[in-house]
Chain A
Amino acid sequence: MNLRKIFKNGFLIVLASLVLTACATQKKTGGQLQGDVYTGTDTVEYLASGVPDRVFFATNETVLTTAARETLRKQAAWLRKNSDITIVLEGHADERGTREYNLALGERRANSAKDYLMTYGISSNRISVLSYGKERPVDSGSNPLAWSKNRRSVSVKAN
């Protein structure tokens, strides 16, 4: 019982130091990371005024963050207004994974975005999905900030 307590405390200390390191990272990267999700705008392009073209993911994750969902709702609104436009969702992964697995991961990320757009009324036949895995990074660096920019799904006008 006692032992378990010690472990628990130890775990808390480890956790605390992890949080501290995370803060340190954040400072270094100019506050462009939340957790390890990119929140900056360096690489972001716009489909229309106020409609960012991309959403970012946490390491190994395909779940949409709150910010990603907000961006996709803007894209959905824009797509509803421009009903003749079709898009390709390009899913990407960072370099820290094997090539083939990352192709699958990119496909899954793009589909997360696609599913969300569909729940906001965009027909699936206006959206196609293309995974690049880790083949097309936007940032060629090998550091947490570069990786965070590369874990993304980008909506590209197809017509």
Chain B
Amino acid sequence: MLFRYLLILLILLPVKVFALIEVDITRGNLNPLPIAVSPLSIDENSKKNFKKILKKENLGVEISTIVENNLRQSGLFNPLNKNAFLQKPDIANLKPRFEDWNLIKAQALITGKVTFEDEKLRVEFRLWDVLAGKEMMALAFTTVPSNWRRVGHIITDKVYERLTGEDGYFDTRIIYVSEEGPKTNRIKKLAIMDQDGFNNKYLTLGNELVLTPRFSPTNQMVTYLSYFRNLPRVYLLDIETGLQEVVGDFPGMTFAPRFSPDGKKIIMSFAQDGNSDIYTMDLENRIVERISNHPSIDTSPSYSPDGKFITFNSDRSGYQQIYVMSSNGKNVKRISFGNGLYGTPVWSPRGDLIAFTKLHKGKFYIGVMRTDGTGERLLTENFYQEAPSWSPNGRVLIFYRETKTNSKGEGFSAKLWSIDLTGYNEKMVETETDASDPSWSSLLSE
């Protein structure tokens, strides 16, 4: 007992001593932390140089705006209006006048400086506890100027980590399917963008139907389903080189692919003669292994983060339900028992939860349950939505939702949405076109 007490103290102490401000992320965002994000200061010479290279009038303002938007989107912070700031960016970064920031009710303050050095972008920033009048963190890094948006995301991650005690999820990307055209003949392309919707890029041309892209653990590769030459097969795409290859040599449809947590295998379904089972293929030696062997439909496999278990979707009970098995296919156990149908199980990066889509009485829900099926919690209900994907810190889910565009129930639109694990902070994620099948990358800076 004493030992356990000591252990807790050891874990808590470092946090308690240094973090004077804390953001509780386990509950809803009822009281977002008021934070002032001062524009990063920039000297005239650097300003001119960055303007030439990046066509941005004031890079310091631009980067601080990224941080501000990220913090606001998280729902945990309330970035204050810049017009109310009394202190100039350069002076604030040297030594904030805490009374001034206190006056506008800021509890935390971010300041910083941007310089152009040897053709590089150098950024330093500081996080201040306004109430205690103390510096909480100071960091600097140098990178190529074109990385300026990522700098904003990395700063947000550091601030988020310092104030919540958890990993951030801002320096990340989303891969998804861009959709256009009528529902009966949808054009679908793979697309990739930053987590905040910027730097959107299309990875395929839309000549063939593509579905369900998913990142490799290192974010360099994507596995997805393509109808190239009308043969639906799982493909592998290298994001940098654009090289694509089909995964394995299966005499029928392969689909529902995901990477194993070590990135060495693809797990997927293979359908033959009306029966879908789960297979893996080792990407190095190309060895194919059959994991499930059952006359029912077995699909949507997803590994636990330690690679020891697989959750999947099967209709062996008569209807779609969620199951868990050992990664060798043994010890199959059904875990979903609520009313309705369950699909698209996906293991959280923390390992403790499985997110899913539930269909019940004509409604679609996104929910989570523990890995033994207990503690089911439905986060959001709608006419049509599915396919949750976890943020790398396991705090946010992104999914897609279709809505009718008029009251007669005609026309439709598909968009990406995100919601916190708490069930709060439901938001549409802006995309250029309609969008579906989102998959969240891991942190790029790791």
Contacts and interface: CB of A to CB of B under 8 A. Distances in A.
Interface of A: 60, 62, 88, 95-101, 103-105, 107-108, 111-112, 115, 129-132, 135-143
Given A95-B384, A104-B299, A136-B185, 5 more contacts: A98-B313, A98-B343, A101-B299, A111-B274, A135-B211
A85 B415 CA distance: 42
Contacts of A132: 209
Interface residues of B, number: 43
B343 A131 contact: no
Contacts of A131: 232, 253, 271
Given A98-B300, A131-B271, A140 B412 contact: yes
Interface string B304-328: 0000000001010001100000000
Given A104-B297, A107-B274, A111-B274, A99 B211 contact: yes
B212 A99 contact: yes
B256 A136 contact: no
A140 B362 CA distance: 17
Nearest to B343: A98
B156 interface: no
Interface in B301-356: 313, 315, 319-320, 341, 343-344
Given A60-B319, A104-B271, A98 B344 contact: yes
Contacts of B186: 135
A116 to B, nearest CB: 12
B320 A101 contact: yes
B386 interface: yes
12 contacts: A88-B230, A97-B320, A98-B343, A99-B387, A103-B255, A104-B297, A105-B297, A107-B276, A131-B253, A136-B184, A142-B384, A142-B409
Contacts of B313: 98, 100-101
Given A103-B255, A131-B253, A98 B274 contact: no
A95 B414 CA distance: 13
A129 B255 CA distance: 15
Contacts of A141: 409-410
Nearest to B402: A95
A137 B252 CA distance: 22
Contacts of A104: 255, 269, 271, 276, 297, 299
A115 B269 CA distance: 21
A92 to B, nearest CB: 11
Contact of B232 (A88, A103, A142, A143): A103
B393 interface: no
B437 interface: yes
A140 B183 CA distance: 6
Contacts of A138: 184
Of A60, A101, A132, A140, most B-chain CB atoms within 10 Å:
A101
Contacts of A129: 252
B274 A97 contact: no
Interface string B278-293: 0000000000000000
Contacts of B410: 140-141
A138 B182 CA distance: 11
A140 B232 CA distance: 22
| A-B interface, 9 closest residue pairs, ranked by CB to CB distance from nearest | A111-B274, A98-B343, A140-B183, A104-B276, A100-B256, A104-B297, A107-B271, A108-B274, A100-B300
Contacts of A136: 184-185
Contacts of A62: 274
B151 interface: no
A130 B230 contact: yes
Nearest to B408: A141
B271 A103 contact: yes
A151 to B, nearest CB: 15
A124 to B, nearest CB: 10
Nearest to A134: B183
A60 B93 CA distance: 63
